[in-house]
Amino acid sequence: MAPFGGAGYNRHMASSDGVTVTLRLFAIYRERVGQECIEVTLQSGSTVADALTSLGELHPSTLPLMPTTMVAVNQEYTERDYVLEPNDEIALIPPVSGGWAEPTSSS
Amino acid sequence: METERILITEEPLDAASVTALVKSNANGGVVTFEGTTRDETGGRTVVRLEYEAYPEMAEKTFLQIFDEVQERWGITDMAVAHRIGRLELGEASLIVAVAAPHRAEAFAIAMYVVDRIKEIVPIWKKEFFEDGSVWVGAAHTQIP
C-alpha cells in the first residue's frame, strides 16, 4: 500500500461541494503540528490518503511519520482508500506504546 | 456492564481494586498483571514518563479485546486500568486482571490481553531521559 496519494482520479470527478473532516492528532503528530486536531475540506470522493496528503502539505514535518502510521476513521481502524464522508473523524495513530512486556535488566 | 471494567485515568492505579472486579466463586484462578515504568531503555536512563490516549477509541479497542477473549475462551471476567499523564519511575501504568475456572487459562488470557493492548489500543508512551525524550514506537522513523 502506498503511504499516501493514489486517488488522483477523484480530483477530476469531484463535484463543487467538498467534504470537511477532522484530523485528530496524538503524541508525536500533536507535537509536530502544535494542535490536537485540525479540520480540512477536501473534494467530494476524497480518501483518507488524500487527507494525509493534505496534512503533509500543511505540515511537512509530519511526512516522515506517515509510513508507519495506522489510520482510524470514527474510532475504527481503516484502510487509506476509505472514501470520506462529511464530518468523519480521522485519527492518525503512530505505533502505540509498549515496553512493559519486554525483559528488563533493572528489576 | 463491560465498560465498568475499563478505566483510563490520570490517578494512580490500584491493582487490588481492579482484581476485585473480576473475582467470583465460580473461578479458581485470578491473574493480575501490573505493568510498571522502568528506569532504563536501550541503555539510556529514563527519568519519567508520560502516557497519552485517544480515549474514545481506547475504550472501544479494550472492549474489542474482551470480545476476542470471550469468543476464544468463553471467559468474560476481565478488567483493565491504564494510567495516562505523567508517571514517575516504578509507578503502575497498566493493570490487567483475569479470572477463570482454571489457572492455565487465566495466565494465557492475561498474556493475550496484554499483548493485544500493545498492538491495538491507541495509548502512547513518551520516555524522558536526562538529555531528551522520545515517543516509544516513533523512534525508528529516524527523524531529527
| Whether B77 contacts B27, CB under 8 Å | yes
Q: Does the interface ipTM go beyond 0.90? A: no
Note the pLDDT of residue A5.
Answer: 43
CB contact B132 to A (< 8 Å): no
**Tens of pLDDT along A57-106?**
999 999 988 988 999 999 999 999 999 999 999 999 988 754 332 323 33
Q: Which residues of chain B have pLDDT under 70?
A: 1-2, 137-144
d(CA B126, CA B129): 10
Query: Which pTM does this prediction carry?
Result: 0.83
Note the pLDDT of residue A100.
Answer: 31
Distance between A43 CA and the closest CA of chain B, angstroms: 27
Report the residue from B93, B122, B125 with minimal CB separation from A93: B122
Distance between B99 CA and the closest CA of chain A, angstroms: 20
Note the pLDDT of residue B143.
Answer: 38
Note the pLDDT of residue A2.
Answer: 42
| Whether A97 contacts B118, CB under 8 Å | yes
Residues of B in contact with A37 (CB under 8 A): none
| Phi (first) and psi of residue A73, to 5 degrees | -120, 125
Note the pLDDT of residue B63.
Answer: 96
Report the residue from B51, B52, B56 with minimal CB separation from A75: B56
Taking an 8 Å cut-off on Cβ atoms, the answer to whether A26 and B41 are in contact is no
Distance between A54 CA and the closest CA of chain B, angstroms: 20
CB contact B51 to A (< 8 Å): yes
| Whether A23 contacts A90, CB under 8 Å | yes
Residues of A in contact with B51 (CB under 8 A): 97
Distance between B135 CA and the closest CA of chain A, angstroms: 7
Collapsed DSSP state (helix, strand, coil) of residue B45 = strand
Taking an 8 Å cut-off on Cβ atoms, the answer to whether A106 and B118 are in contact is no
